[in-house]
Structure 1
Amino acid sequence: MSMVRDLALADEGGRKIAFAGRRMPVLSALVDRFAETKPFVGQRIAACLHVTTETANMCRALVAGGAELSLCASNPLSTKDDVAAAIQRDIGAEVFAIHGCDRDTFYRQVQGVLDVRPTVVVDDGADLTTTIHNDYPQLLDDIIGGTEVTSTGVLRIRNMATDGALRYPVLPTNDAATKHLFDNRYGTGQNTIDGILRATNVLIAGSTFVVIGYGWCGRGVAARARGMGARVIVTEVDPIRALEAKLDGFEVMPMMDAAERGDVFVTVTGNRDAITLDHMRRMRDGAILANSGHFDVEIAVADLTDAAVERRELRPNCVEYVLPSGPGIILLAEGRLVGQSAAEAHPAEVMDMTFATQALALQYLVANAGRLQPGIVEIPRAVEDEVARAKLTAYGVRIDELSPGQQQYLTDWRVGT
């Protein structure tokens, strides 16, 4: 049985899904194609994703393609209850997602999608994949493969593959250029700022804005903050990324130094303890902490909670913790994904490319069932090119093509100076 807050919310959710769909032309074209070709007939797809309007449009594509689809949330605060209701009622997927649920309910939702005995796994953070391997190995024989859409999830999947634990092929959607160059950089950059503004209404211009981690998501956050007038500091552990941040014009320093100078702090590392209690003790009174990594481990929330002598809810998704030494630390969205929890998630325009890439990767996976070996299977470049060309066409942009002579030159080693 599905788990949604209230099916009566479906009308409102349906309007939002339709509005997002109008800005997702590549995925909309795939809905029409899949409705004719039915590439997913006979497949039981278990998906663990942020339950948003953009996700709903990918669900529409998979169901149009003949899939039996079950969907659970990949984050309890990112679920939009009206959207979940509309996916259940109007799109035809079985949905297990309730906004703000506790941890036990969250994993009951994961169990709900696994009850279909999936043949295909669509993951965002690797919770389904790790749960299957750890707790439900009896399901592995039916699974032909899966996809993983986020940076943190791909890291977990790669670690499984390195350990020899991954028992089916997984296509890392996040590694596709049509995902991380746009979704991570422009989507995370925009929705992180959006979440901070909705939770605090703080003025970004003139603030000192600390970005912890300079991967594609960190690049996007730093660029958006600078564009709004902030003085941006970057902290990193990777010397190449730190050097890139320096040459991009940002100040680079250790986190312990940045802690004393920042007004707003955003973690985008994919790792735990990017902001520790020791860092917080050095911060100014009123420092704002937000996380834009997938899991809520990047800020030491438990340590902050234990150390605080007072807790005050200032606004929705905005709680102040007063430390014994005096500073009040303002934590947004419980340390969870701030752009998903306090705002509207990624814009539809970038998720159009992410979910089109995901849908075509799933089509490739199903078409090659039994021929792909367990482990990481890279998404074919042809899939990325198809998505990029379709997006350019939707924007009304034309580009050049190589002439036969240029093509020959690029493949010929004999021609030199």
Structure 2
Amino acid sequence: MESPERARLDAFFRQITAQFPAGEAITTLVITHLLPERPAFLRAMTEVSTVGAVLPKPRSIHQPTLDDVRRTLPVHDLTRERFTDETQALDYLEDTAGGRDVVLVDIGGYFAASLDTLVSKFSGRILGVVEDTENGHQRYAALDSLPCPVVSVARSPLKDCEDHLVGRSIVFSTEALVRGRGDILTGRNACVIGFGKVGRAIAQTLRALDLRVTVYDKDPVRQVQAHSLGFRTCASAADAVREAELVLCATGNLALQQSDFAALRNGAYLGSVTSSEDELELGSLHSLYQRTSISPELTRYEITGHYFFVLADGGAVNFVHGAAVGSYIHLVQAEILAATAALSRDQFQPGMHEMAASDRHAIARTWLDHFER
């Protein structure tokens, strides 16, 4: 990042943290993508909290950024297992932030499985969770009851811009990987599973590239929305993928289970918008299919009479090329900072919450002043 760009970004975050000051002293555990723009967000997080640990998502680590962050902040390895096992999660939290007031900053619902134990048995206080993604939002919403506040920015209007650009970046990276094999997408049959904001952007971008697009979403309202926009729809995921030469999954949940893969057309390309363990049940195929690495980001799955290609080992395809969405990402990061500060002031009761419209308006105005005027 060039010096003037860094200075402008730091000035933006300084204004955000001034508008949304923290209350009591808190410690944060921050799950994050470690991409080149992320240190500015982490510097801002140190203005509202003591960062007890940065936990990088394994498939989205830019090595120079990791080296940079390690010079000033503690960086710990992140695995789903660390926080799925309640005893292991509690031991980790005690070792990292024992006795302190803690806010958990999440991407993907990592803390959901052990949240009850962390809230009830931790020697400090869990003030709450800030969740960034749709799949994480769904993980917390699926709990019988929430023992602390969870502030989700996953469905914030400020995230719409990012989601639209993420959809476009997914298609960009998909096309680049397919072209790397000497193939093209134009004129193909494509299937998009999941017609939320990202899935809609993917479907529209694919259609603009002259693909024939079928959409499946288990929500009948979204099916109707897709149909009204001129997309073919199907009654099941298996039906939707049957004729598709490209399948992109954007549900924020489990899109394809073991039984669905058999329906894939021979030679189809399969990709995901989020982590492979969230969208694709690929692990169930490892004893059935032979896997051959065609390139670092393309794997052939083959069983007698059937084969298909998996992009980016089932991880988010756009991270192959850095997942850049420009300065719009800072809108969401600003809302995460505001939510963290709100939790430090005990602003919410246990349950699912989102930031007030007035807070989002303030963030949008500040963003416009810094990046568009």
Counterpart Cα distance in 1 of 2:20 and 2:220: 48
Q: Tell me the residue number matched to 2:354.
A: 378
Is the counterpart of residue 330 in structure 1 residue 309 in structure 2? yes
Amino acid at match of 2:41: M
**Larger mean Cα displacement after TM superposition, 235-244 or 58-67:** 58-67
Is the radius of gyration larger for structure 1 or structure 2?
1
Q: Label 1:23 to 1:214 Cα distance change in 2 as closer, same or farther (>3 A).
A: farther
- Which residue does the alignment assign to 1:393? 369
What pairs up with 1:98-113 in 2 under 5 angstroms? none
Report deviation, 1:88.
1.8
Q: In structure 2, what residue type is equivalent to 1:172?
A: S
Equivalent in 58, 62, 81 of residue 80 of structure 1: 62
Paired with 1:220 and 1:322, the residues of 2 have a C-alpha distance of: 31
1:199 aligns with 2:177: yes
- The 1:363–1:277 alpha-carbon spacing in structure 2 relative to 1, beyond 3 Å, is closer
Structure 1 position 243, deviation (Å) = 0.8
The alignment partner of 2:64 has SS state of helix
SS in 2 for 1:144: strand
Structure 2 CA distance for aligned equivalents of residues 322 and 21 of structure 1: 50
* 1:3-402 paired onto structure 2 within 5 Å: 18-19=1-2, 22=5, 28-31=11-14, 34=17, 39=22, 42-65=25-48, 67-73=50-56, 75-89=57-71, 92-97=72-77, 115-117=96-98, 119-134=102-117, 137-139=120-122, 141-160=124-143, 163-164=144-145, 166-179=146-159, 181-187=160-166, 189-201=167-179, 202-254=183-235, 255-272=237-254, 274-294=255-275, 296-308=277-289, 310-324=290-304, 326-340=305-319, 342-366=320-344, 368-369=345-346, 371-394=347-370, 396=372
Report if the CA contact (8 A) 1:184-1:216 is conserved.
yes
* Bigger Cα displacement from structure 2, 347-356 vs 110-119: 110-119
Deviation at 1:144, TM superposition (A): 1.8
Structure 1 pair 358–302 and aligned structure 2 pair: CA distance change class (3 A): same
Does the 8 Å CA contact 1:234/1:252 hold for their aligned counterparts?
yes
Alpha-carbon distance in structure 2 between the residues aligned to 1:87 and 1:269: 31
Aligned length: 364
Give % identity. 21
Q: What CA RMSD, in Å, does the superposition of the two structures yield over aligned residues?
A: 3.2
Q: Is the 8 A contact 2:271 2:310 kept in 1?
A: yes
Q: Counterparts of 2:84 and 2:172 in 1: how far apart (Å)?
A: 26
User: Which of the pair is proportionally richer in strand?
Assistant: 2
Distance 1:158 1:105 in 2: 17
C-alpha displacement of 1:172: 0.8
The 8 Å contact of residues 70 and 94 in structure 1, kept in 2 or not, is answered as yes
Q: For 1:106 and 1:343, locate their aligned partners in 2 and report how far apart those are by CA, in whole Å.
A: 30
Cα distance in 1 between the residues matched to 2:7 and 2:168: 17
Residues of 2 paired with 1:20 and 1:222: CA distance?
37
Measured after TM superposition, the shift of residue 120 of structure 1 is 1.2
Q: Taking structure 1 as the reference length, what is the TM-score of the superposition?
A: 0.77
Q: For the Cα contact (< 8 Å) 1:24–1:351, is it kept in 2?
A: no
Q: CA deviation at 1:45?
A: 0.8
Which ranges of structure 1 fall in alignment gaps of 5 or more residues? Answer: 1-17, 398-417
State the 1:318 CA deviation: 0.8
Cα 1:372/1:38, change in 2 over 3 Å: closer
- Structure 1 stretch displaced more, 291-300 or 30-39: 30-39
- Structure 2 unaligned residues grouped into runs of 5+: none
